[in-house]
Amino acid sequence: MRRFLVGMVCAAALGGVAIAAPAAPWLNTKLSPDRRADLLLGRMSLAEQIALLHGHFPVLMKSRPPGIPMSAGYIPAQPKYGIPAIRESDASLGVANAGRGDTDDAAPLPSGLALAATFDPKLAFASGAMIGREARQKGFNVLLAGGANLARDPRNGRNFEYLGEDPLLGGTLDGAAIRGIQSNHMVSTAKHYALNDQETGRGTLSADIGEAAMRESDLLEFEIAIAAGRPGSVMCAYNRINGTYACENPALLNGALKHDWGFPGWVMSDWGAVHSLDAAAAGLDQESGQEADRQVYFDAPLTAAVASGKFPKARVHDMAHRVLRSLFAEGVIDHPLAPGALDTRMDSATAGKVAEQAIVLLKNSPGLLPLAAGARKIVVIGGHADVGVISGGGSSQVIPLGSTKLRSPKGAPSWGGGIIYHPDPPLAAIRRRAGGEVAYADGSDPAAAAALAKGADVVVVFASQWATEAMDIRLGLDDQQDALISAVAAANPHTVVVLETGGPVVMPWLGQVGGVLEAWYPGARGGEAIAKVLFGEVDPSGRLPQTFPTGEDQLPRPQLPGLKSAAPEGPTIGQGEPLQVHYDEGSDVGYRWYAAKGLKPLFPFGYGLSYTAFRYGGLKAVGGQGLSVSFTVTNSGARAGIEMPQLYLASEPHRSQQRLVAFTRVALKPGQTRRVTLNAEPRLLADWDVAGHRWKRAAGRYELFVGRSAADPALKGAAVLTAASLAP
Ligand code: BGC
């Protein structure tokens, strides 16, 4: 009864017509979200239902009525039913700004790829919860977060927003982040469904791939994320799949998502991704950002199609039902927004925690790191380390107070907003810790930087790479930074390179330097996090969520399809149209490709050093109906540290594809041993059976290994499993 009353009070607080409970039975919180949606839809006219199915893009609205915030999306309220306005914001890495002015700040998280490097679902939940809280305070109730595209090509300019190349790692963390967001009574959106794996030509590109390969790779990441996160909404992508646009693709929307996975929420389009009313029949429920489409399909044309009998009224009911049931299920209707002040400083602590755990130590010559507090002279060079830490551009861009816009690259997309540095300079954080002198050179003159480096105990060179939505990138730093690092390392071999990159880069200078840290885009407290790891206050516990290749010649497609220039300086979304990309590698994405081809990358997936050492032993693999593997991990070094044991399948009875099937994090004190048990994800022990339309596992012997990376089998074993058949 109490919850029922809360529902009534909430509806009244919306400022609409006061609704009495008997007249508004859908406000009864004891009923299921589906029942509530049906009760409400029973009162709504067709026009009122259709009003829920298309939304504005305030950024492109010619005249924006007062009360509509500058943001990604807006759908007007229907106060007489207690339906609030749907207020949408991008929020993959924090609440995005969308041109609301630099004083509308929010706490920026490190990149999604950084989050993936933590291998930590709890942190992913905490990040989502922080974003959701800030979004509520800013007056948003539907977040366009939850990017889950597989890093099929390391040059995809949006990989930094996503969670790496493995479906289990990415899907698990995405699901946890979505749950975190939705713990604030709001809807989160898994996006961009599916195979939007490069930006170049994204509006027309056809990703051509077989059904089994797609199910076992890109779709599997979504399947895992959606099962774990239960997002209220899924956003379909810009591109085509096997010739059909993702937003009008019945196999993906009506088939895999709604039928096979039982997704009860609504499918919204990406902005400008609707091409016809066919999309509604294929499973699209809502046309987002209608100002970005050639015409508004889900308003007058939809109404006319229903009137002429060409489009079933029942499907309109289903579309509106899906929107309303998610709003009820996540508490958007029962818990109206009450915007309030943000504490971005406090929220930045979450960002700092992610950054600390995400940093990957790639190389460390004996005795170089951690830095000794007593070092006489440290020289810091480059990367605008005196200003802050770089962030990625595009719709996910978050603006923190005091951020600095350094320069806009020629032709950069206007929504990229230039290159933004978050105001937590590593130089200041290093100075706060160093006992001796810390000198700085901006690196614009490599000879001067090398001269300064010469007499130092240690040199820290910062190098950065900017990536943004709408543009793909090359697999490296710009030439000037490579030359700078080489010149400095030639002058002083005690050189540590700190990378702030969107993803993997090649390192022509690797043999010359003493240490390398990958710090990704480290967010609000990035400078502090880098300094904490450099000085050993925090053990480097990040592991690579993406393989670092030696060069583009190792990739399935050495040339990025459609890309006109090897080093693009502006948007590439319109290039190469109409484009067909053949994903002939199938589900051999990332480390699976390297294993299948016998290639040795620069650094493998899952790799990362610690300041301590770990030893593995006592493997026990139990098969049968599932796979459970236990083993011991010992911290054999002298410092506390965190290890990330990874369980890989090496081969099944009739196939030898490598797959990550389970992972965990273990914190160990020096000398401490812990027995760890990992249970394999059942879908990863199986193959997609096209004819049977299900996951199928053959009976027989499964080879496996527990490792410190995809290329470092510490313990090998095998187990005999029974045959199994799993519904999708
Ligand atoms: C992006 C989406 C984003 C939307 C709204 C699109 O260009 O692909 O990720 O949510 O814009 O800003």
| Amino acid residing at 587 | S
SS3 at position 653: coil
pLDDT value at 1 more than 60: no
Q: Are strands 659-663 and 646-651 parallel, antiparallel or unpaired?
A: antiparallel
Determine what percent of the chain is predicted with pLDDT higher than 90.
89
* Residue 73 alpha carbon, nearest atom of ligand 1: 5
> Which of 418, 416, 423 shows the shortest CA–CA distance to 385?
423
Candidate of 395, 415, 471 to mutate for ligand 1, largest count of ligand atoms within 8 Å of Cβ: 395
- At residue 412 the predicted structure's pLDDT band, cuts being 50, 70 and 90, is low
Ligand 1: atom nearest CA of 196 is 8
* Side-chain half-sphere exposure of 131, counting CA atoms within 13 A: 37
pLDDT band at 570 (very low <50, low <70, confident <90, very high): confident
Average pLDDT value over all residues in the chain: 94
The rounded Å distance from CA 659 to ligand 1 centre is 31
Whether the predicted pLDDT of 9 surpasses 60: no
Q: Computed from CA positions of residues 539, 115, 707, 584, in that sequence, does the dihedral angle turn out positive or negative?
A: negative
Take atom 11 of ligand 1 and give the residue whose Cα is closest.
271
Q: How far is CA 98 from the centre of its chain?
A: 19
- With cut-offs at 50, 70 and 90, classify the pLDDT of residue 2: very low
33-42 tens-digit pLDDT: 999 999 999 9
Q: So what's the pLDDT on residue 20? A: 58
Q: pLDDT confidence of 479, banded at 50, 70, 90? A: confident
Look at residues 321, 148, 327 and name the one whose alpha carbon lies nearest to residue 232. Answer: 327
Provide the 10 A C-beta neighbour count for residue 376: 13
Q: What pLDDT score does 4 carry? A: 32
Give ligand 1 pocket residues (Cβ under 6 A): 72, 90, 144, 191-192, 270-271, 395
pLDDT greater than 50 at residue 493: yes
Distance 394 CA to ligand 1 centre (A): 8
Give residue 351 CA to ligand 1 midpoint distance, Å.
22
Over range 221-242, report the average pLDDT. 98
Which band of pLDDT confidence, cut at 50, 70 and 90, is reported for residue 662? very high
17 has pLDDT over 60: no
Which residue among 93, 144, 160, 196 is best mutated to probe the pocket of ligand 1, counting the most ligand atoms within 8 A of its Cβ?
144
What does the angle CA 290 – CA 293 – CA 297 come to, to the nearest 5 degrees? Answer: 70
pLDDT at 409: 66
Look at residue 207 and tell me whether its pLDDT is greater than 90.
Answer: yes
**What pLDDT sits at residue 10?**
39
| H helices, E strands: number in the chain | 17, 31
- pLDDT per position as a tens digit, 91-101: 999 999 998 98
The DSSP-derived string for 498-536 is EEE-SS----TTGGG-SEEEE--S--TTHHHHHHHHHTT
What b/e string do you get for 302-340 counting C-beta neighbours within 10 Å, with b at 16 or more?
beebbeeeebeeeebbbbbbbbbbbbbbbbbbbbbbeee
pLDDT over 70 (residue 411) = no
pLDDT digits (tens, 9 = 90+) for 25-76: 999 999 999 999 999 999 999 999 999 999 999 999 999 999 899 999 999 9
* pLDDT at residue 410 is higher than 50: yes
Give pLDDT, residue 568: 82
Ligand 1 atom closest to Cα of 161?
9
- Quick one: which atom of ligand 1 is closest to the CA of 395? 12
- The atom number, within ligand 1, closest to the CA of 189 reads 10
- Lay out the sheet containing 580-582: strands in order across: 244-245, 240-241, 206-208, 580-582
Atom 5, ligand 1: which residue's CA is nearest?
A: 72
Contacts from 658-662 at CB under 8 Å and sequence distance 24+? Answer: 658/591, 658/592, 658/595, 658/596, 658/710, 659/168, 659/592, 659/684, 660/166, 660/168, 660/169, 660/591, 660/605, 660/606, 660/684, 660/710, 661/168, 661/627, 661/685, 661/704, 662/168, 662/629
> What is the band of 496 on the pLDDT scale with cuts at 50, 70, 90?
very high
Ligand 1 atom 2, closest CA: 270
Map residue 538 onto helix, strand or coil: coil
Ligand 1 centroid – CA 529 distance (Å)? 29
Task: Take residue 476 and report the two structure tokens written for it.
Answer: 């490296």
pLDDT at site 12:
35
Give nearest CA residue, ligand 1 atom 9. Answer: 395
Spacing, Cα 235 to ligand 1 middle (Å) = 9
Secondary-structure breakdown of the chain: helix, strand, coil percentages, each rounded to the nearest 5: 30, 25, 45
Distance 549 CA to ligand 1 centre (A): 29
What pLDDT is attached to residue 395? 94
* Spatial separation of the C-alpha atoms in residues 12 and 329, rounded to whole Å: 19
Q: In testing the pocket of ligand 1, which one of 86, 287, 469 has its CB within 8 Å of the most ligand atoms? A: 469
Decide if pLDDT at 11 tops 80.
no
pLDDT for position 21: 61
16 has a pLDDT exceeding 50: no
pLDDT tens, residue by residue, 272-330: 999 999 999 999 999 999 999 999 999 999 999 999 999 999 999 999 999 999 999 99
Segment 440-456 shows an average pLDDT of: 97
Atom of ligand 1 nearest to the CA of 59: 12
pLDDT for 415:
61
How far away, in angstroms, is 132 Cα from ligand 1 center? 18
The per-residue pLDDT for range 354-381, each reduced to its tens digit, is 999 999 999 999 999 999 877 789 999 9
User: Which whole-number Å values give the CA distances from 450 to 211, 515, 643, in the listed order?
Assistant: 54, 17, 36
Give the pLDDT band (50/70/90) at residue 440: very high
Would the pTM of this model clear 0.85, i.e. be above it?
yes
Q: Is the pLDDT of residue 428 over 50?
A: yes
Residues designated catalytic: 270
- Higher-confidence residue of 161 and 414: namely 161
